[in-house]
Each structure stands twice: as structure tokens, then as C-alpha cells.
């Protein structure tokens, strides 16, 4: 019997918005692309940031708050394209699922109903859950809740917490602050049992100039200077600095991804 080749099913989620989920999902997708993988990307979000950067190939599941009250069954059925993507993905194609704010609970309920964990195993996927959070009390609280819910729904998944240092570092929090209490009392024990990845702040907020234009990270890194100027709207020197900031941030993040994603099929091997 031929052994099924393992591949990634990557979930990026936090019940709270504004913690860097789509930024991380895009960086992971670009990392996979550099490694030679054409990922199947699913975004469960109305903002559609990934489709703006990656194009029409992204499978978008828009949220419908009214459907949960009118027809709960129909509300859960909207996640069906996730399972379809799992079944149709090519032999080596990974899947990246970006779960938007307010969607984690409903996604987990649906995942339990269809036994998504078993389906992923049957199709040869290694599930990995990335939970990004910022150094803010509600983001940390929701990260803990998200990790618990997704662990219950996907018990075979590897959990990776992601400290997004965009707005500060956990180590700089005051011990009396609400954020530190949430970290030390809830999320730090989860980090001790699992992997922790640090997503540093991009210097000078340089990514925002390119993000507004719907760019991909790997696209920005490969821009020549005139193209970087045109895309960012910055003068020559500032455009070069911004492009360099993004490139250096990406290299650091990719190195950390290689560190935490250790398995029989490393992300850097196609």
C-alpha cells in the first residue's frame, strides 16, 4: 500500500479582529509559494483582504449574521466549501484557511458536525492552527478562547500562538495591567504547552503603503525601485526603504515559520 504524502492544512484564527490574521495568512501563503506549493486559500470573512492580494482563486465565505437567527442550519452550511476544498485539493496542495473575527465559534460547530478532523486525516493533511494576538487584554482573552475551541474541534492539530508585536510586546506589559493578567493567567500556559512564534512589527509601518494597493509580500520584495515608487506612492528613497523593511521582516518571519513547523514534510521542501 502506497503511503499518503502528508501536507499542511493551516488555519489562522482569532475571534477578535485587528490582530494580524490576514497579514499572517498572506505571509504563510507566500512562504508556501516560494517553496513551490500552490495553496488552496479559503477566507471566511467579509473584508476579503486575501482575495484582494491573491486574486479570484481565493474561496471566499462571507459571513451572514441574519442567517443564524433565520435558519441556523443554513448558516452552518455556508462552510461546506471548506470540505469541498479539502476533497478537491491536489496531491501535494496545502490549504490555508483564514477565519475572520466572530466566526470561530460557528466554524468549530460546523467542523464538529462534519468531523473535519477525521476528513483532514483521511486526505493526508497535517492540521496546524495559528492563533495571532496583540499585547492587549481582549486580544489575548480571545486568543485563549480561540485556541480552546479549535483544539476541541480539531484535536489532531498542532497549535502555534503568534505574538504580533505591532502594538507592543508582551514582555513590556506592566504586571498589574489587564493584558498581563490575561497573558499570565490564561494564554502563557497554552504557550508553554505549544509553540510560540513572534511576528515583529514592520519598521515604520512600511507594509501599509503596499497593502493598500492589494500587494503580496513576495511581489513587493521583487519590485524594482520605479515600480515600488509607483505602487507605494513614495519618493525614491522612501520607497526603497519601505521595500527593504518589508523584505527584512519577511525573512525573519519565514525563519521563524521554519522553526515552528517541524514535521516529516517541512514547509521549505516541495
Beta carbons of 64 and 77 less than 8 angstroms apart: no
For 114-133, the pLDDT digits (tens) are 999 999 999 999 999 999 99
Residues 178-197, mean pLDDT to the nearest whole number? 95
pTM above 0.95, yes or no: no
Domains of the chain: 7-201 (3.40.50.300), 205-263 (no CATH)
pLDDT tens-place string over residues 202-229: 988 899 999 989 999 999 999 999 999 9
Average pLDDT, whole number, for the chain? 89
- State pLDDT tens for residues 22-52: 999 999 999 999 989 999 999 998 777 888 8
- Residue appearing with cell numbers 502563557: 188
| pLDDT at residue 251 greater than cutoff 70 | yes
Dihedral angle sign, alpha carbons of residues 168, 41, 75, 73: negative
CB count in 10 Å sphere of residue 177: 13
C-alpha distances (whole Å) from 176 to each of 68, 80, 90, 240 are 39, 44, 50, 42
State the Cα–Cα distance between residues 166 and 201, nearest whole angstrom.
4
Give the mean pLDDT of 95-109: 94
In the prediction, which pLDDT does 4 show? 45
**pLDDT at residue 270, rounded to an integer:** 38
pLDDT of 3 > 80? The answer is no
| Per-residue pLDDT at 240 | 96
175 contacts: CB under 8 Å, gap ≥ 6: none
146: pLDDT confidence band, cut at 50, 70 and 90? very high
Rounded to whole angstroms, how far apart are CA atoms 172 and 249? 21
Cα 9 from Cα 107, distance rounded (Å) = 15
Nearest to 63 by CA among 84, 83, 78, 42: 78
Amino acid at each position: 500500500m502506497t503511503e499518503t504524502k502528508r501536507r499542511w492544512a493551516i488555519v489562522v484564527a482569532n475571534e477578535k479582529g485587528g490582530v494580524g490574521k490576514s497579514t499572517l495568512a498572506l505571509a504563510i501563503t507566500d512562504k508556501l509559494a516560494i517553496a513551490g506549493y500552490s495553496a488552496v486559500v479559503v477566507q471566511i470573512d467579509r473584508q476579503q483582504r486575501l482575495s484582494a492580494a491573491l486574486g479570484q482563486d481565493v474561496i471566499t465565505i462571507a459571513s451572514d449574521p441574519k442567517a443564524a437567527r433565520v435558519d441556523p442550519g443554513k448558516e452552518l452550511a455556508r462552510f461546506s466549501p471548506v470540505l469541498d476544498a479539502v476533497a478537491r485539493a491536489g496531491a501535494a496542495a496545502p490549504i490555508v484557511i483564514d477565519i475572520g473575527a466572530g466566526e470561530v465559534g460557528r466554524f468549530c460547530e460546523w467542523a464538529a458536525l462534519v468531523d473535519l478532523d477525521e476528513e483532514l486525516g483521511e486526505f493526508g493533511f497535517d492540521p496546524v492552527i495559528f492563533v495571532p494576538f496583540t499585547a492587549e487584554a481582549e486580544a489575548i482573552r480571545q486568543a485563549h478562547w480561540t485556541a480552546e475551541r479549535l483544539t476541541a474541534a480539531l484535536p489532531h492539530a498542532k497549535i502555534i500562538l503568534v505574538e504580533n508585536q505591532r502594538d507592543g510586546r508582551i514582555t513590556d506589559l506592566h504586571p498589574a495591567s489587564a493584558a498581563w493578567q490575561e497573558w499570565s493567567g490564561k494564554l502563557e500556559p497554552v504557550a508553554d504547552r505549544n509553540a510560540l512564534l513572534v511576528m515583529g512589527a514592520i519598521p515604520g509601518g512600511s507594509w501599509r503603503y503596499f497593502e493598500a494597493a492589494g500587494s503580496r509580500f513576495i511581489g513587493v520584495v521583487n519590485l524594482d525601485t520605479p515600480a515600488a515608487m509607483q505602487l507605494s506612492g513614495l519618493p525614491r528613497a522612501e520607497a526603497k526603504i519601505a521595500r527593504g523593511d518589508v523584505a527584512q521582516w519577511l525573512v525573519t518571519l519565514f525563519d521563524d515559520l521554519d522553526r515552528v513547523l517541524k514535521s516529516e514534510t517541512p514547509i521549505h521542501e516541495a
